[in-house]
Structure 1
């Protein structure tokens, strides 16, 4: 009797599938898109040929940009390494996740990218610079909570020795060395990882975190350094005479790192195309912050100027998601990257996330990103010394203006359209009184919305219990 009842039911299902194979295909769960994040260190938004830099050619990035959403006004909300990385992983602002300075640990109980994607059925991998552990820059980070949900591991906490650099492999506590220039090795590791999973039923999340083009500027392979003549480097107009010779020399090395990275972008994308994975892989290319490189009389990051705070931001989205590749002028911040990726992957966004999901914006369904915040807590440290005119600040950035307030009151106001090199501070000028007042009110409102009391930096350090030395810097060990 059971066989008699079962056969007609089987026959009905079989016939229905045969008559309508489209429905049968739709009944099979579709594999979610892979996610590849190419994260660089200290790459300012201006330093690509697609962004108009006259000194450098980045053909592979230009090609990727042409087929991606190019967020031209992307910023690093707290332009320092560890704060950006913690915001990338959590979708939170630095004063929420607590990593508002380098060399401190992200809470191992945090809801992070690796954990979210693992729960959604993804294989997760991380290669390169981590800088979120706070236990010493060359120390071993064991599998488990301190890796924040990432399983495959070829990483180091932080090193800027790009030749024969230290890394750790999965569960092995013994130091290993990447032979030669680590940018090349890290790329090969990523390609091997993705190749091993091209036929897998599980999608992957892979973060490749390069240490370059961060200083030291003159350590790229000689073949790349030979491409740049110091005397032919064209400086930005806001580099003072006193720094021009140094900036030209350092920019030549900076660009050498960049063209090496561009070649690696080409190597990765060509592999994805050759293996058929490009059609189901979201690629995010960005940087944790920029580099002043002499602009405004300073180096490195942390300040609210364009060269420090603006970063490249490309989202390559497979065609099947029906999102058009184009340039976008909305401001997108560090904490917005995770929810946007989750939105594109149709993965629920946890309540802990503070950033904005830009998928509806990319689909033309809503407008976002008219303003965003820039924040600096530290009034000290190597890159934000008061003698360089730096200080603690809160800044509001719009599509046209940058307005910054320090603890004493209004500090900077720039019209970034009329004054792209930010050389004319409009604070206190008669014809800009109303604009300054309007932007100050908007900044006050945003700080209120985000629960930021804008206290002196040491108050936050005391609140989080971070140990600092006499210079106000977290000491770290090798």
Structure 2
């Protein structure tokens, strides 16, 4: 069998809970619900450093933030790091990237990323970052001419991805196509009107962990967030239909995922960087009929963003080089293999932006196991949740005598993992000085547009 194509579709800030198949009573995602039923559903997938640039740099490089230096937003991934595109190209693939990039660190929507920093992608229609989804610029190939996606950018970007797939011929090399959507990241009220009309804030059923004082704001924000989700759900269906129509579905690995989640007022918190489930758990659906069969199934394997690249490489029979720091979850994809003792690392190396210190941000390290979430700040335990019995994480069990043995075991496991990685759990400014990242007194990196 020839090597499969790979289409990797990822949204920005789409939390795992905001799916019909995941039990959300509000959101309408019928196309992704069908896809989940036909895919390998990694229902405990996480984003271990749940914020934009660190997650994306980890995805593209296959390395941890303390190895590649992108543990803040709006700093540049070092140019000497091999990327997912380099590895697939070396194996004979064409490579394409469409949409949001956000690992270049030299400016956002006014800046054209030069070809020496496009990390090996051949087909290139990219912007560093914008959240103006209805007036969204991009740069194509090596051109310095700023162009604009027509209308709501995720629709136009999906059209372009569909055309890329449609224009392939049987004689062409296999391809890696990455489609990066900006929504459902805030602003929440900017999806096309037909999708906004699907959600009335007064009808939104809130999770149990939204505090009473946040109810009105949460309903309004969730209505807009869900509108983005439904718009993207329709775009995903369009891409699947083109794969079917061109006869390429059978031997294409199709992934749907996200870079991180969104708190959306759960626990009274906003956005990302937080170690709660809403921020760090993400969808990860993978379908490859020729290699994994037609039958969908769920797995509890604790796949992190760090692990996406080695998993895809091994599924495509491409050797993983020693620079990659994640694990391959090929066995979980093929036969549902789960290591019950494995714990995934959660980290905030330096709080910044919406999570800066004056907003309560702090460094942390933690673990997500099959059952528990355990997190420490610098110097003391912070959070311990039994996610099986407390899925909304309402009861913090830190220092609860009934869980002292579990807390001690998880703390020992966490520090053994940090020791093995050479992570000394320093204050964030120490890492900023090491990497030369300029920050203000609140830990914020200046953004030049």
Verify: 1:111 aligned to 2:82, yes or no: yes
Verify: 1:315 aligned to 2:297, yes or no: no
Q: CA deviation at 1:55?
A: 0.3
Label 1:366 to 1:234 Cα distance change in 2 as closer, same or farther (>3 A): closer
Verify: 1:293 aligned to 2:234, yes or no: no
Query: For each residue in 1:33-68, what CA deviation from the matched residue of structure 2 results, as whole angstroms up to 9, or x when unmatched?
Result: 000000100000000000000001211101111111
Q: CA deviation at 1:115?
A: 0.6
Task: Specify the alignment match of 1:373 in structure 2.
Answer: 345
Label 1:365 to 1:384 Cα distance change in 2 as closer, same or farther (>3 A): same
Counterpart Cα distance in 1 of 2:166 and 2:106: 33
Q: CA deviation at 1:474?
A: 1.2
Task: Specify the alignment match of 1:27 in structure 2.
Answer: none
Task: Mark the runs of 5 or more structure 2 residues left unpaired by the alignment.
Answer: none
Task: Specify the alignment match of 2:210 in structure 1.
Answer: 239
Larger radius of gyration: 1
Label 1:366 to 1:218 Cα distance change in 2 as closer, same or farther (>3 A): closer
Q: CA deviation at 1:325?
A: 3.0
Label 1:179 to 1:87 Cα distance change in 2 as closer, same or farther (>3 A): same
Q: Which has the larger displacement, 390-399 or 246-255?
A: 390-399
- 2:44 partner SS: strand
Number of paired residues? 447
- 1:363 partner SS: helix
- 2:314 partner SS: helix
Query: For each residue in 1:243-265, what CA deviation from the matched residue of structure 2 results, as whole angstroms up to 9, or x when unmatched?
Result: 11111001000000000000001
Provide the aligned C-alpha RMSD in A.
1.4
Task: Specify the alignment match of 1:14 in structure 2.
Answer: none
Q: Which has the larger displacement, 361-370 or 347-356?
A: 361-370
Asked if the contact 1:323/1:362 (under 8 Å) is kept, the reply is no
Label 1:368 to 1:386 Cα distance change in 2 as closer, same or farther (>3 A): farther
Q: CA deviation at 1:365?
A: 8.7
Task: Specify the alignment match of 1:140 in structure 2.
Answer: 112
Query: For each residue in 1:145-182, what CA deviation from the matched residue of structure 2 results, as whole angstroms up to 9, or x when unmatched?
Result: x1011111111000000002111111110111112100
Matches within 5 A, 1:78-227: 78-138=49-109, 139-144=111-116, 146-227=117-198
Query: For each residue in 1:119-166, what CA deviation from the matched residue of structure 2 results, as whole angstroms up to 9, or x when unmatched?
Result: 11111010000001000012001222x101111111100000000211
Q: Which has the larger displacement, 146-155 or 365-374?
A: 365-374
**TM-score calculated relative to the size of structure 2:** 0.97
Which of 341, 351, 355 is 1:383 aligned to?
A: 355
Counterpart Cα distance in 2 of 1:452 and 1:293: 31
Query: For each residue in 1:370-391, what CA deviation from the matched residue of structure 2 results, as whole angstroms up to 9, or x when unmatched?
Result: 3100000123421354544x42
Counterpart Cα distance in 2 of 1:61 and 1:422: 26
Q: Which has the larger displacement, 211-220 or 414-423?
A: 414-423
Verify: 1:406 aligned to 2:412, yes or no: no
Query: For each residue in 1:279-298, what CA deviation from the matched residue of structure 2 results, as whole angstroms up to 9, or x when unmatched?
Result: 11101111010000001111
Label 1:366 to 1:57 Cα distance change in 2 as closer, same or farther (>3 A): closer
Asked if the contact 1:31/1:202 (under 8 Å) is kept, the reply is no
- 1:185 partner SS: helix
Asked if the contact 1:31/1:201 (under 8 Å) is kept, the reply is no
Which of 306, 318, 321 is 1:335 aligned to?
A: 306
- 2:35 partner SS: helix
Which of 393, 396, 400 is 1:429 aligned to?
A: 400
Which of 269, 277, 281 is 2:248 aligned to?
A: 277
Asked if the contact 1:290/1:300 (under 8 Å) is kept, the reply is yes
Counterpart Cα distance in 2 of 1:306 and 1:367: 20
Query: For each residue in 1:355-411, what CA deviation from the matched residue of structure 2 results, as whole angstroms up to 9, or x when unmatched?
Result: 1111123333954373100000123421354544x4210011101100000002101
Task: Specify the alignment match of 1:461 in structure 2.
Answer: 432
Task: Specify the alignment match of 1:394 in structure 2.
Answer: 365
